[in-house]
Structure 1
């Protein structure tokens, strides 16, 4: 038996494996701690489909097979799946613009599977993206299908254009992390003078302006944290331990800020910005200057 992973022959010993599924599972478990996942399997020059394991998983393992496996890192696999989302939104937009109801309805039949991927692929932990798109499609008579006006079509098209921008942003965080990180870093740096005024704004009745700054800062900082976790540690050696501590502290504070925001506790929001966030942001340039001079 010969096993290849990404064209390299693997010296792997099997003991109690009796089926092709057992072999697959053993290799999958061996690869996972190394940060890789199986993306394609070819057995005896014939591709077997990972989404149709019932066709091959329980077949006996004879020991004479040649198994070729294509493996991707978890980040590469995530990027590939995000590209699939991007392609889907493009097809929906095309069908909407062309008024192709047959294609559009076929795509919308798949939407329940698409939206379930937002949490993992777009870091939509609070379901904000999913809930927004659900409401948009429902109120404009797309899901479930109903009578649609021209304005309904325009509204949904605009929604998918905005969704596409979000998806592209998430993809850029993975494929060009240093550029995306520098852009985000620069945006936060530009915001610092405004952030210093938030506490005063909340005390002088300018709650709306203060809220906009808080929301924008939270979004940018969460984006920067996502990007940072996408970069291998060996590529960012400066201040590594300090950054980990900084990220842990800021993540906890941002969670408190989000809770204060949801309960409209302006006093707590002001205190968090003035006494917790701003003092830590003084360290921010030194910690994240890595992004400024690096390239993808």
Structure 2
């Protein structure tokens, strides 16, 4: 039987972590990563009893959780990680290009550079271009990645034209990365919120919560239903904040805002009134009316808001990610 289980903190907040089949810190991170990822976050750093590790460290597989008191996990949004990777690639590519020009590149350096550039470029752009996989940006990226994947050290040394082609691709990559940083500068204030994919997970959870409330009412569990509708109301406030930020962002670009003028935003404000009516109906034991409000008003409203948010994000991505 296990002794005291370690305390787990994510961004300084203690979480209720229950050991199932995990035996090492690596097992724990693999488990928690799925949850973190579903909220649009990525694990960036760990502290195991104060000692810092990266989430990909092989040492994590050798650390038994029985010997750990505290595990602290630092995360960052996909947007933050993407920006960080792009900015770190710029000096790296510049240095790599100098080695190619000076013909001082050995085989190990070539393979290492290829792997790092491909991994960082693909992962960062996949995060940012989540709605624009057919854009010219992705096409350019794929050409560069394909060239690097096929590049061999022996051919590079034997074929001067291949070296020139490599230099040309690296110059294209430098321009590509520089242009991306300009995009990040445009959206640095609200971009992280607008492109936060965790909102999709939030909406899915809210829809599941609606179904649970309806079931509780059918079973006569009004206290459970009431608790969950209050939980829904709190989640809706976060969703409303997200939507306000998104619309504010759209207003900065008149050509995009013009497309939203036909949408009746007053319906969103009515959602709070719907929630109040549901709470009132539950308190009065009118479960049939409460269920009707949930089924025919609240759920369709949430689905419509979800579609609106998706449309706004696609509009923004098309604005910034079309060459």
State the TM-score, normalizing by the size of structure 2.
0.47
Alignment match, 1:167: 177
Q: Does 31-40 or 170-179 show the bigger shift?
A: 170-179
Give the alignment partner of residue 93 of structure 1, picking from 94, 97, 107.
97
Distance 1:30 1:136 in 2: 33
CA contact (8 A) 1:42 1:67 kept: yes
Distance across 1 between alignment mates of 2:80 and 2:14: 21
Unaligned runs of 5+ in 1: 182-226, 248-286, 292-296
User: Which residue is equivalent to 1:282?
Assistant: none
CA displacement 1:90-143 (0-9 Å, x = unmatched):
1212213434233xx43321315533554443357665433356559979x867
SS of residue paired to 2:155 = coil
Pick one of 79, 85, 100 that aligns with 2:83. Answer: 79
Q: SS of 2:71's equivalent?
A: strand
CA distance in 2, matches of 1:58, 1:48: 13
- RMSD of the alignment, in Å? 4.4
Whether 2:158 is the aligned partner of 1:147: answer yes
2:61 to 43, 51, 57: 57
Number of positions where the alignment pairs a residue of Structure 1 with one of Structure 2:
199
**Is contact 2:40-2:196 (8 Å) kept?**
no
Q: CA deviation at 1:245?
A: 12
Three-state SS of the structure 2 residue aligned to 1:145 is: helix
Does the CA-based 8 Å contact 2:48-2:68 persist in structure 1? no
CA distance change for structure 1 residues 172 and 17 in 2, over 3 Å: closer, same or farther?
farther
Aligned residue for 2:45, secondary structure, equals strand
Q: Which residue of 2 aligns with 1:156?
A: 166
Q: List per-residue Cα deviations over 1:182-203 (Å, max 9, x = no partner).
A: xxxxxxxxxxxxxxxxxxxxxx
Cα displacement (A) at 1:28? 2.4
Find 2:142's aligned residue among 130, 137, 143.
130
Contact 2:155 2:162 in 1 (8 A): no
**Do 1:137 and 1:143's aligned partners in 2 also have CA atoms closer than 8 Å?**
no
2:51 counterpart (46, 50, 55): 46
Deviations 1:151-202 (A, max 9, x none): 76555333312211102222333354269x9xxxxxxxxxxxxxxxxxxxxx
Structure 2 segments unaligned to the other structure (5+ residues): 1-5, 198-241, 261-314
The residue aligned with 1:5 is 10
Q: Residue 95 of structure 1: SS of its match in structure 2?
A: helix
Deviation at 1:71, TM superposition (A): 0.8
Q: Give the equivalent residue in structure 1 for 2:111.
A: 109
Contact 1:138 1:144 in 2 (8 A): no
CA distance in 1, matches of 2:26, 2:145: 38
SS state at 1:62 partner: helix
Superposition pairs of residues 1-296 of structure 1, within 5 angstroms? 1-6=6-11, 8-16=12-20, 18-19=22-23, 20-53=25-58, 55-57=59-61, 59-62=63-66, 64-102=68-106, 105-110=107-112, 111-112=114-115, 114-115=117-118, 118-122=121-125, 123=129, 127-131=139-143, 134-135=146-147, 144-149=155-160, 153-177=163-187, 229=195, 233-238=243-248
Cα separation, partners in 2 of 1:129 and 1:22, compared to 1, 3 Å = closer
Summarize the Cα distance change of 1:142–1:164 in structure 2 as closer, same or farther, 3 Å threshold. Answer: farther
Q: Is the 8 A contact 2:46 2:71 kept in 1?
A: yes
Q: Is the 8 A contact 1:118 1:130 kept in 2?
A: no
